[in-house]
Amino acid sequence: MTSTLLDPSLIGIWLLPGQPQTYEITEDGSYYIAEPDETLSFRDGGAQMIWGGRTYTRVIGEGMTPVGTWREADTGDGWDFTADHAYTILSATDETGETFTGIWALRNDGTSLWTCEKQADIETVGAHLTFITPSGERLSYGYTVDEGLLSLLDPDTWQELTRYISAERMVRSAAG
């Protein structure tokens, strides 16, 4: 569900102090979480992929590339990486059959893999922000945005729950 009701001050990349992930809100109201890139290697001619210390066994595809379908050894989750740099995850333990989608890129001359996954769509009405997950769950908060700081607030007490800092503000602060 994409909403036309989106506060434009939310659009951009956000950081949580002390967290390695980045959080992005796009113009269409999509909410993405990007994980830091992790080391990547292949064994047995591309039959196994070692990514961030986790082992994946190839189901479909070949070669020393993530492109193809993989089964994660520890969880049984299925990962499908496509040549257009999209991926889909099918959880082996989620009985709803919910899938997660994202984008991927090789970094550091192909020795690390970065992923960014869509987590929700966002709507805003007044001072209320709602995350709508792929399963349809609605998580609502109060919010404020001021000079590159986004605060999520308890919708009943208006107490601050968390504070994001815009990547743009971080760059400006580092520059001087």
Domain spans of the chain? 8-33+120-175, 35-117
Q: Distance between CA 9 and CA 75 in Å, rounded?
A: 38
Enter the pTM of the model: 0.77
pLDDT (tens place) for every residue of the chain, 176 residues total: 444 479 999 999 999 988 999 999 999 999 999 999 999 999 999 999 999 999 999 999 999 999 999 999 999 999 999 999 999 998 877 776 667 788 999 999 999 999 999 999 999 999 999 999 888 899 999 999 999 999 999 999 999 999 999 988 777 666 66
Q: Distance between CA 72 and CA 57 in Å, rounded?
A: 7
CA atoms 83, 67, 35, 122: torsion sign: positive
Residue 22 is encoded by which pair of tokens?
């980045």
The predicted pLDDT at position 1 comes to 41
Q: What CATH topology corresponds to 8-33+120-175?
A: Lipocalin (2.40.128)
| Interacting residues of 137 by C-beta distance below 8 A, sequence separation 6+ | none
CA atoms 102, 103, 108, 109: torsion sign: positive
Pairing of strands 112-125, 128-132: antiparallel
For 3, 20, 25, 127, 143, the CA distances from 122, given in Å and listed in that order, are 7, 22, 8, 13, 12
DSSP 147: T
The predicted pLDDT at position 130 comes to 96
